[in-house]
C-alpha cells in the first residue's frame, strides 16, 4: 500500500505536536489536527468518491482522538497515522459496497402481478352480469378514471344516464358478490 509521502520535517513536527497533545497541550492538539486535514484530503481524494472524502477525514480525526493514548512518542507518527487512515478507508469501501451507489430505475424488476391478473379476470366475470351500458360506464369512470362528463361523451349516454347506470350497476355487482359469498 503506497501512502502519500510525509516529509521527515513534517513528520517530526507532527510527532512533537502529538507528544505535546498527549501531555495535555490543547493548542498543540488543535494545530496537529488542522495540519492533518490537507494530507488526509489528498489521501482520500485518490481513493474514495468525492462525496465520501470529508466523511472519511472526520472518521480519521475522530479515531485519532479516541486512540491518541495508544500512540508511542518514541515511534514515527507517519506510519501510525497512515495505518488509521488505511483502516478508515477500508471501512468506507465496505460501507460504500453495502449502500446503493445509484438510485434504482422505477422499472427495475417485474413484481409478481398474479393478484392483478386474478382481480382483472374476476372483474370481467362481474361485469358480464351487467347490462352493456352499465358495464361500459363503470369501466370508464371507476377503472379508467374518466369524469362523468367524459364518460357521457365516450359512451354516448347523457350525464344523467351515466350516473343512473353507475348506481344501478354497482348495486347489481354488490348483489352478485353477496351471492358468490353465500355460495362459498
The pTM of this model reads 0.50
Residue 72 vs residue 183, higher pLDDT? 72
The pLDDT of residue 110: 61
Query: 9-23, 126-140, 141-155 — which is least confidently predicted?
Result: 9-23
The pLDDT of residue 165: 93
User: What domains can be seen in the chain, in order of their start residue?
Assistant: 8-98 (1.10.1740.10), 124-183 (1.10.10.10)
The pLDDT of residue 111: 62
Report the C-alpha gap between 139 and 144 in whole angstroms.
6
Task: Say how many C-beta atoms besides its own lie within 10 A of residue 139's C-beta.
Answer: 18
Report the C-alpha gap between 181 and 184 in whole angstroms.
5
C-alpha cell at position 11: 513528520
Query: 3-12, 125-134, 147-156 — which is least confidently predicted?
Result: 3-12
Whether the pLDDT of residue 1 is over 60: the answer is no
**Alpha carbon distances (Å) from 178 to 69, 80, 162, 182, 183:** 77, 77, 24, 6, 9
Burial label for 96, CB within 10 Å (0-12, 13-18, 19+), is: middle
For residue range 36-87, list pLDDT tens digits in order: 999 999 998 888 888 888 999 999 999 999 999 998 989 988 899 999 999 9
Amino acid at each position: 500500500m503506497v501512502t502519500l509521502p510525509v516529509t521527515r520535517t513534517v513528520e517530526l513536527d507532527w510527532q512533537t505536536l502529538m507528544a505535546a497533545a498527549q501531555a495535555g497541550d490543547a493548542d498543540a492538539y488543535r494545530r496537529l489536527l488542522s495540519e492533518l486535514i490537507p494530507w488526509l484530503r489528498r489521501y482520500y481524494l485518490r481513493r474514495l468518491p468525492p462525496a465520501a472524502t470529508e466523511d472519511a477525514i472526520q472518521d480519521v480525526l475522530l479515531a485519532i482522538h479516541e486512540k491518541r493514548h495508544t500512540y508511542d512518542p518514541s515511534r514515527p507518527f507517519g506510519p501510525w497515522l497512515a495505518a488509521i487512515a488505511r483502516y478508515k478507508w477500508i471501512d468506507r469501501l465496505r460501507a460504500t459496497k453495502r449502500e446503493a451507489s445509484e438510485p434504482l430505475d422505477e422499472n427495475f424488476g417485474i413484481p409478481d402481478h398474479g393478484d392483478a391478473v386474478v382481480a382483472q379476470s374476476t372483474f370481467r366475470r362481474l361485469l358480464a352480469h351487467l347490462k352493456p351500458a352499465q358495464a361500459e360506464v363503470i369501466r370508464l369512470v371507476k377503472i379508467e378514471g374518466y369524469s362523468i362528463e367524459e364518460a357521457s361523451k365516450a359512451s354516448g349516454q347523457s350525464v344523467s344516464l351515466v350516473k343512473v347506470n353507475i348506481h344501478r350497476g354497482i348495486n347489481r355487482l354488490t348483489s352478485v358478490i353477496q351471492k358468490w359469498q353465500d355460495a362459498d
